[in-house]
Structure 1
Amino acid sequence: MFYYQYYFPQFVPVQYYGQPLYMDRQQPSVQQILQTIRSQHNNLYRELEDAGMNRQITEYVFFFVVNYVVNQANANQNANQIYNQFQRQVPWFNLLFRQHNVSQNVADRVLRRVIQITLDQLKGGGGQPGPGQGWSNWEDLGGVLTSAPTVASWQPNRLDVFARGTDNMLYHKWWDGSRWNDWESLGGVLTSPPAAVSWGPNRIDVFVRSTDNTLYHKWWDGSRWNDWESLGGVLTSGPAVSSRRTNQLDVFVRGTGNRLYMKTWNGSRWLDWEDLGGNLNSEPAAVSWGPNRIDVFARGQNNDLIHKWWNGNRWSDWESLGGTLTSAPAVSSRRANQLDVFARGTGNRLYKRTWNGTRWGNWENLGGTLTSAPAAVSWNPNRIDVFARGQNQSLIHSWLDR
């Protein structure tokens, strides 16, 4: 039996398939990519270490895989194709994981992420924003999504992401402040992307469209997930949700006639559906930055961004904010009277437009390759987290932190 100890007495193999490991065929170098993984994706190291593999061997594993992608793989293939090829050509590599009792599922997930990160780096960050814009490179968080994701945050440095899986059930993945936890199934039968919001510590409310095109609701109360409840309605899109204050929820959907409808939980009961008009060409997006403010966005019939807001007394008319959207929008707010709106645009790239309290800025191209609408949340004035489905149908994540 072949053991990896024979191959790397100091965890550095000399050759792979007759080619030196330190070939410098293209930039960035293997070591530069590894440094990116160490600095921006340290959770990948933690996943293997938590599973039983020590840091030194994890470093070797990542070195070997990154080098393979840089020097052996076809960078025009996707991460799954490269990983499958890697498994065929290096069948002994799984021995490392078995000898350290790391499950194949964990190994597969982590190595696919390493390959995706390497591909993004080789392609110039996958179209990431240029230096000085403050956005991270995209990281691949795995999973197989059949819808756009949604995200909520109930305290600083906490993220809860939801998406529909291959069995049309709701799946949940969360960042607890130090690591990403595995996906968990929350059941249900979804016919749309989910929507999620938090109105207080340890509280999350999730909404979906079900098979009968009605609105369904599930919530985390701090100790358990409650059963699904039906809230009725006739939905022709996925929902959106915002919260103006503790124990208040405003849910928005596209209904019959492509009009915007709202249903509100006032702290004690659900109010009747309210028709807010418009002519929507996508799911809506909603956010609240104060107790008397709601901002709602959607893609209009001209594929532009349209906007409507509640000022505490009345709803505004719809306004067009331009752009060419190829998905529903997403919106987050970092502080009072500031809005960051995201959408997939031409080339499947992520675009952002910001209201700074006085005026709307120009559209910014933030790169990436999205196969769904984005999701966005902010948990402090200097932080935005954006998620989407990537080319491999997995969850991808980028963030602004300054």
Structure 2
Amino acid sequence: MNSTLDRFSKLLEKDGTWCTVLADAGTGTGDSLEAADVRPGQIRDALLAAGAANADAKAVEKAIQPMEGVPNPVARFVLVHDGRVEVDEVLAGERVDSPYVKVGVVPDLLPLLRHADSDIPVVTASVDRTGADVKLAYARRAITGGPESSHSVQGSTENLKKVPGGGWSQGRFQHRTEEIWRKNAEDVAAEIDRLVQTERPAIVAIGGDIRARDLVLHQLSENARAIATTVDSHTRAGGAHPEVMDAAVQKLLAENQAYSQRRLLEQLEEEKGHNNGKAATGIGAVVHALQQAQVQTLVLSTELTADPGAGNTATDPDSHPAKEMLVLGSSPWIATVEEETLGAQILGKAAAAPALIRAAVLTDADVEILPKAAIPGGAIVAALLRWPVGPAVPGEGQ
């Protein structure tokens, strides 16, 4: 799902107690206005009852005040550590009926994954022959404080229009005009290439003048061109409707996500069928791979993520989705028993899903959440690996 999780890596290295909250952030209407007003205090009390420090609970209470002037539904994801709000994200279009409130040794990214599983970068460019409006945004559009940027690339307009009529100078003017168009498109393509290299977007959507967008498309780098699509609308013209580009982006994202998930499952199935293949299934095998930074993509089942923070008494790592795992202060980051810690400090215990997600982020792995029935063998957790597995380990294939 999510290469953007690496922005949390520094936070995940910190020890101490974390408060994680995902809650409705709307003001409500009519009878629900009063409920919105008392919600922050109720969440504060829930955090205190769960063992949060007073400073942490008050910081959360202050951060999740209702957002006036923002259309419903809207939610807020907050992480607090040592009395400081480390993450405060507003999620437009996300409905949260019951707040998720957690106090633990790790910042719990599971609620963010479950409620905002399209937080991936997107580059759009609305072009004409003078330049382009290039935008970096995210599929989940944050209302405030969101990581979004937009600016214009303005090219030359000298001799921009072809000169009608005959005469010996006509060819020279037309050649000059073509060169200006090409140079302007080159500048736009360079900016798109820069964003593709630094932000790793899922798609690049190019709309605008048909000739200009074709010029830009053909001057993109190979990596950018591989994820680029033209949108059949002059999206930079006066009176252009931005919803045309928005609709095209949403369609492309849905297609991209479906393709990526299908390809991931095909790879898992293929590798699982090979001896010493590049796949691991079951908590034991996946934890073993995470400890070696071997995981390329961690796949969590919807069963494993269905009830984050549930109490658990299971003794077999593979027998219950809510099994607690040891959270470590340094590599290998996660363990099922003390003998696997390799001398790393044990920070405490966390439920399987947030502990696995933390280890994945800290070892630069992506994370996907998929239905258990779709995962090869019906495993509650699986992983696509960077290199082949070695001998079988306990729990593999569960």
Q: Same fold (TM over 0.5)?
A: no
Q: Which has the higher helix share?
A: 2
Q: Which has the higher strand share?
A: 1
* Structure with the larger RCO, 1 or 2 (CA within 8 Å, 6+ apart): 2
Flag the structure with larger Rg: 2
